Amino acid sequence: MTFQELNLNTPLYNAIADLGFEKPTAIQEQSFNVICSGRDMVGIAQTGTGKTFAYMLPILRDLKFSKQENPRVLILVPTRELVIQVVEEIEKLSKYINNRVLGVYGGVNINQQKADVAQGLDILVATPGRLYDLAVSRVLQLKSIQKLVIDEVDVMLDLGFRHQLINIFDILPAKRQNIMFSATMTEDVDALINDFFLNPEKISVAVSGTPLENIAQFRYDVPNYYTKLNLIIHLLKDTKDLNKVLVFVSNKRMADRLFDGLTEHFSGECCVIHSNKTQNYRLRSIEQFDKGDKRILVATDVMARGLDFETVSHVFNFDTPSFPENYMHRIGRTGRAEQKGVAILFSAEAESEAREQIEALMQMTIPVLELPESVTISTELLDEERPENKERYNPLKRDEDEVGPAFHEKKEKNKKVNLGGSYKREIVKKYKKPKTRGDKNYNKRNKKK
């Protein structure tokens, strides 16, 4: 099928022609008629299969011109970077359409966003936290929302946005179309669908965990961090084939450590992005990598879903992710739009169990490559790589329950125990009778006597 076979309008055809697209992807083709029908829909598709266009093409086709100030379409995404990229994609498709698009997210001045909202808009792209802040402030009115799109919902729930999503559902109109896209179908996602969707049409274009066919996968068995560093430095010297490289690590500390190590050998070619970096720094790193000013980008798993780059030649998994789904999100950054890509996994012995879970999810074994002879195998270990030193039997070491010579029992008066309840039990012990002062019933009984 080509885009011409979809029932689009002329402005959208012109925008697609400018972008050079000819054929819709599987998720775009299968979800088009469902979204146009107005039914609730849940789409399960791999990262990099064109999910943004899958929901925006039918929405923009039916979005009529309006001068009203309140938004009619709400798109929720998990990260700031994804807000910016979704807005950019919508603007590309809206090149010949007269509509107003706004993206809002945390980490920037909310007053400027309030002013932008007050000017009126048609499509709002937002992170859940900032959207709720604007709605509570009464600057943003959601009473006109006709279509709600939740993109990357599985990552949104992983980041702890469930309660915010529920709060947002409460202030949205009950009569609306719900559209959800996810790379994986988890129990949390399924529970959210059952609670808030009305008999949704489910479209799945690939089994969760199935690798993209145009991504070649390889792995190196590497013993420790410094050997991994030596290996990646050796591989990155091939600037012709490895012209745009994304390196994923598990945490922020490792990202900074690896960035420093790579900068010593590839000065001016590296940038890093993780949640501790400022918003301007993150956006600048993304822009430099996207434009090709920087060849190597080091990123954490949190950023794996929010990145949408063209022509990424290689994805390096510097360490093996603990959750198999994260591996799929990482390698999905390459091989996009039917292009070829390469994913390389560095696997230490301590990470073998996580690697086996990844291979079980994909139902395939990742081919192993031999370490190049010129790569030095280091014996130096990081603190977290060192084995725990368990003390052998020490006859002079006391048991945990054994008290030392400096220990003494508390004096009796200091052994206070909180028994709870009323203090009357102590009064009874001291005076041998209950305290009756102010007890009207007691006084009445004495008068009768």
**Beta strands 73-76 and 368-369, pairing class:** unpaired
pLDDT score of 348 more than 70: yes
Q: What per-residue confidence (pLDDT) applies to 108?
A: 86
Q: How far is residue 211's CA from residue 221's CA, in Å, rounded to a whole number?
A: 21
Which residues have a Cβ under 8 Å from the Cβ of 98 and sit 6 or more positions away? 65
Helix axes 252-263, 225-236, angle to 10 degrees: 50
As a whole-number percent, the residues of the chain with pLDDT over 90 amount to 51
**Mean pLDDT calculated for residue range 372-398:** 79
Whole-number Å distance between alpha carbons of 15 and 23: 14
What lies within 8 Å, CB to CB, of 357 at 6+ separation is 324
Taking CA atoms, 355 is separated from 305, 319, 364, in Å, by: 20, 10, 11
The C-alpha atoms of residue 204 and residue 26 are separated, in whole angstroms, by: 9
Rounded to whole angstroms, how far apart are CA atoms 370 and 436?
90
Which pLDDT band holds residue 444 (cuts at 50, 70, 90)?
low
Contact present, 224 and 348 (Cβ < 8 Å): yes
Q: pLDDT tens, 96-114?
A: 999 999 999 988 889 999 9
Instruction: Assign 317 a pLDDT band (cuts: 50, 70, 90).
Output: very high
- Domains contained in the chain, CATH given: 3-204 (3.40.50.300), 215-380 (3.40.50.300)
Residue carrying structure tokens 């001045």:
109
Which range in 72-76, 311-315, 340-344 is most confidently predicted, on average pLDDT? 72-76
Tell me, what's the pLDDT at 44?
85
Q: Which of 158-167, 203-212, 235-244, 382-391 has the lowest mean pLDDT?
A: 203-212
Pull the structure tokens for residue 428. 């009874």
For residue 121, the tally of other CB atoms under 10 A from its CB is 21
Average the pLDDT over each of 8-12, 231-235, 322-326, 409-413 and give the range with the smallest value: 409-413
> What's the pLDDT band for 304 if we cut at 50, 70, 90?
low
The three-class DSSP label of residue 102 is strand
Q: What does the pLDDT average to over 343-355?
A: 94
Name which of 26-35, 270-279, 300-309 the model is least confident about: 300-309
Distance (Å, whole) CA 33 – CA 39 = 10
Query: What integer is the mean pLDDT of 247-253?
Result: 92
Query: For the residues 70-84, what does the mean pLDDT come to?
Result: 92
* Position 377 pLDDT exceeds 80: yes
The alpha carbon dihedral of 176, 76, 142, 190 has a sign of positive
Cβ–Cβ contacts within 10 Å for residue 66, how many?
Answer: 14
Sign (positive/negative) of CA torsion 417, 422, 425, 431? positive
Q: In Å, how far are 23, 85, 114, 122, 147 from 104, measured between CA atoms?
A: 31, 12, 9, 14, 18
DSSP string, 244-281: SEEEEESSHHHHHHHHHHHHTTSTTTEEEE-TTS-HHH
Tokens of 228: 């991994």
**For residue 206, pLDDT beyond 70:** no
CA 376 to chain centroid: 35
pLDDT of residue 310: 76
